[in-house]
Amino acid sequence: MRKAYPPIEPYNAGMLDVGNGHEIYWELCGNPAGKPAVFLHGGPGAGCIEDHRRLFDPDRYRVLLFDQRGCGRSTPHASLDSNTTWHVVDDIESLRMKFDVDRWLVLGGSWGSTLALAYAQTYPERVSELILRGIFTARRSELLWLYQDGASWLFPDKWQSFLEPIPEEERGDLIAAYHKLLTGNDEDARLKAARAWSLWEGETVRLMPDKKLSELHATDEFALAIARIENHYFINKGFFKDAQILRDTHRVRHIPGVIIQGRYDVITPMRTAWDLHRAWPEADFQLVDGAGHAFNEPGILHQTILATDRFADETT
């Protein structure tokens, strides 16, 4: 089983003003002369962590990581203003131009897979390869599975905690009910809702429980960003027409790709990855038995490292 590369520090980092009051944090890691790659984190609203740097061979890659609008080290924190999929697609392209990259490998997991596909479908000439994990396309059916009636059957105990901030009469549309709390003026209610939303994801993301992950999702700063931004995106259907990402897959079928999916992924069930596989049969489809959703579950990590290693020496 392949494991992550050793921890590394960025050799350059900074903030990029992308307009409308937003500044996004970016960092460059690895070999300044290496193959260009960009990593797209999940959420939306989760931000990057140190272990994301370790998905690439630091001797062969020049990797850009950045915190998307409103999360991580980007500012303003948890802001929903001028924060849509298409703003972030433009941010990726602005970063590409800032660092004078012609074409680069794009790796994204969970929401990052959605964003990677949206970017590649918009700028296919700028993507050398795609590596996607835990596939999510923001279809209504996917949102209802996680936030209305689906995953609750597998985790009724965790689901009960998710329901608690919402009055019983408003539980027919939980995304809308949460939106009212997460964007309301009651600071205590906003924070309580953010923690409940964040923990629902944090405690179902792995096949086996992870106490440290649950603790992260319960922290005020992380919970506010991921809950507010996810809910904002999801009440707006990801700022897509339903099934848009799958419908437009033909725009990227010429790009070498790898699709990595955990068999027992509750956050983004396998059905979506399978639908993408059928729409994009040229991509290498890697189904990982014995894995959930998290990027660092052993089988998923193994396949991710194999994929980045596979493309490391290919020309861009």
pLDDT digits (tens, 9 = 90+) for 118-143: 999 999 999 999 999 999 999 999 99
For residue 265, indicate whether it is catalytic.
Answer: yes
Statement to judge: residues 53 and 103 lie in one domain: yes
Could you give the number of structural domains in the chain? Answer: 2
Dihedral of CA 216/53/227/144: which sign? negative
- Average pLDDT of the segment spanning 22-51: 98
What is the edge-to-edge ordering of all strands in the sheet holding 61-66?
Answer: 12-19, 22-30, 61-66, 35-40, 104-109, 127-133, 257-262, 284-288
Query: Tell me, what's the pLDDT at 214?
Result: 87
Statement to judge: residues 130 and 170 lie in one domain: no
Nearest Cα residue to 258 out of 226, 315, 300, 195 = 300
Catalytic residue among 22, 232, 277, 293: 293
Catalytic residue among 74, 110, 113, 128: 110
| 204 has a pLDDT exceeding 70 | yes
In a domain, residue 210? The reply is yes
If one compares 285 and 216, the residue with the highest pLDDT of the two is 285
| 169 has a pLDDT exceeding 90 | yes
Instruction: Return the percentage of the chain with pLDDT > 90, whole number.
Output: 95
CATH number of the domain to which 110 belongs: 3.40.50.1820
Amino acid (one-letter) located at 46: A
Instruction: Return the percentage of the chain with pLDDT > 70, whole number.
Output: 99
* Rounded-to-integer distance, Cα 143 and Cα 160, Å: 18
On whether the pTM is more than 0.95, the answer is yes
| 52 has a pLDDT exceeding 80 | yes
Query: Tell me, what's the pLDDT at 208?
Result: 86
| 316 has a pLDDT exceeding 60 | no
In a domain, residue 7? The reply is no
Task: Give residue-wise pLDDT tens across range 274-285.
Answer: 999 999 999 999
Statement to judge: residues 225 and 262 lie in one domain: no
Task: Give residue-wise pLDDT tens across range 170-188.
Answer: 999 999 999 999 999 999 9
| 252 has a pLDDT exceeding 90 | yes
In a domain, residue 316? The reply is no
- Average pLDDT of the segment spanning 4-15: 98
Range(s) of the domain holding residue 115: 12-140+239-311
Statement to judge: residues 194 and 112 lie in one domain: no
Query: Tell me, what's the pLDDT at 284?
Result: 98
Query: Tell me, what's the pLDDT at 220?
Result: 94
Statement to judge: residues 133 and 172 lie in one domain: no
* Rounded-to-integer distance, Cα 295 and Cα 41, Å: 10
* Rounded-to-integer distance, Cα 95 and Cα 63, Å: 12
Catalytic residue among 57, 67, 91, 265: 265
Statement to judge: residues 127 and 155 lie in one domain: no
Statement to judge: residues 32 and 102 lie in one domain: yes
Nearest Cα residue to 304 out of 113, 48, 47 = 113
For residue 110, indicate whether it is catalytic.
Answer: yes
Query: Tell me, what's the pLDDT at 14?
Result: 98
- Average pLDDT of the segment spanning 268-275: 98
Show which of 237, 270, 289 is a domain's final residue: 237
Query: Tell me, what's the pLDDT at 315?
Result: 59
Show which of 195, 216, 237 is a domain's final residue: 237
If one compares 130 and 209, the residue with the highest pLDDT of the two is 130
- Average pLDDT of the segment spanning 253-277: 98
Statement to judge: residues 54 and 126 lie in one domain: yes
In a domain, residue 146? The reply is yes
Show which of 237, 272, 302 is a domain's final residue: 237
At residue 64 the predicted structure's pLDDT band, cuts being 50, 70 and 90, is very high
